Amino acid sequence: MLSDTHRQPDIEIAELIDRLPKVELHVHLEGTLEPELAFRLAARNGVALPFASVEEMRAAYHFTDLQSFLDVYYAACSVLVAREDFRELTRAYLARAHADRVRHVEPFFDPQTHTDRGIPIEAVIAGILDGLADGQREYGITSGLILSFLRHLPAEAASATLDAAEPWLDRIVAVGLDSSEVGFPPEPFAAIFARARALGLRSVAHAGEEGDASLVARTLDSLRVSRIDHGVRAATDPALMRRLAESGITLTACPNSNVRLRVFSTMEQSTIRTLLEAGVAVTINSDDPAYFGGYIGDNYRAVAAALALTSGDLYRLAANAINGSFATAERKRELLDELEGVVAPGRGR
């Protein structure tokens, strides 16, 4: 564990974080695969994992950059085979999210990671939808599923994936773009994002994680997304921050991920405070919690401790997530009412 992700905020702030009704807008379902479940699924499906034990698997999670993580993350997905596996993965995440008071979630899944190894897309999507329905019934967690394309694969493959997902598009809220950022620019995906929009889908894309601020601007220009996933590098460009603030673009920051993947060498270097002060609608999320040492509550606590967040900051971060979600206006109102019962808007930053 890195010590800088485990500093604790003061007790009142920690209690407030526990009580905040949370909305999570940046979590990869494949990144919630805990080693215990990976081993159980490996045994059930007759798949070999390159680790002798759960402990050995967890101990191997030392990453030097985004790609070193993605190699491990894609390899571990080999244990996900049947519809029931995707349902269990989704249920396990929602149980953990419920413990952190997550009320609404918009998770990503990467269909190509599974279809490219011969898993039918139906098993992937139907299994995840089963799990999301379980979570709504058991915990009241509402959701909007995001189909994410892998940017290291050609745009034609993304287009074929959208075609294959056609029977389920009424239960998918948005398309996304993830995987290796540097060397895989957004522009080749402009046509498919336009097609997704024409089909009534919203859109989001990863940018400004390893790539610099110019990639955030290029992603907005070419893909016309309503949220940027990560986007934390935008803080180096005041004009871009003004553009983000004025256009109401939500950034889905993932603080523990950024430290684990060395986007920032310490949590104190996180740009979340700078973004808040510039009026950018930044939010706090977990990204790949099974790999980065914590779920959304841990991420809130780590940032609050490192950046001395106030109750006004916490209100703003939680409200940004509600307002930036694709939930209905009615659901947003419910969540804002619940939030305001816990913390007053205050002056914020």
Residues 63-82 that bind Zn ion (CB under 5 A): none
> Among all chains, which residue has been given the structure tokens 């299994």?
127
Q: What are phi and psi of 117, to 5 degrees?
A: -110, 20
Write down the catalytic residue from 30, 88, 209, 210: 209
Residues 270-309 that bind Zn ion (CB under 5 A): 287
Rounded Cα distance between 184 and 154, Å, is: 10
**Which helix (H) or strand (E) segment is 94 a member of?**
helix 83-99
* Ramachandran assignment for 140, one of left (phi > 0), alpha (psi -120 to 50 degrees), beta (any other): left
Q: Assess 34 for contact with Zn ion (CB under 5 A).
A: no
- Minimum CB separation of residue 254 from Zn ion in Å reads 6
- Relative to beta strand 227-230, strand 281-284 is unpaired
Handedness of CA 61, 63, 303, 265 (dihedral sign): positive
Rounded Cα distance between 132 and 125, Å, is: 10
Q: Assess 32 for contact with ligand HPA (CB under 6 A).
A: no
**Six-digit token string for 249:** 């673009």
Q: Which is nearer to ligand HPA, 228 or 280 (CB)?
A: 228
Q: Assess 66 for contact with ligand HPA (CB under 6 A).
A: yes
Site string for ligand HPA, 325-344 (x = CB under 6 A): --------------------
Active site residue 122: no
Taking CB under 6 A as the criterion, the residue among 5, 78, 143, 179 binding ligand HPA is: 179
Taking CB under 6 A as the criterion, the residue among 104, 206, 273, 332 binding ligand HPA is: 206
Quote the distance between the C-alpha of residue 195 and its chain's center. Answer: 23
Quote the distance between the C-alpha of residue 8 and its chain's center. Answer: 23
Q: Assess 24 for contact with ligand HPA (CB under 6 A).
A: no
Taking CB under 6 A as the criterion, the residue among 24, 85, 209, 298 binding ligand HPA is: 209
Residues forming the active site = 209
Write out the residues near Zn ion by the rule CB under 5 A: 287
Write out the residues near ligand HPA by the rule CB under 6 A: 28, 31, 66, 73, 178-179, 206, 209, 257, 287-288
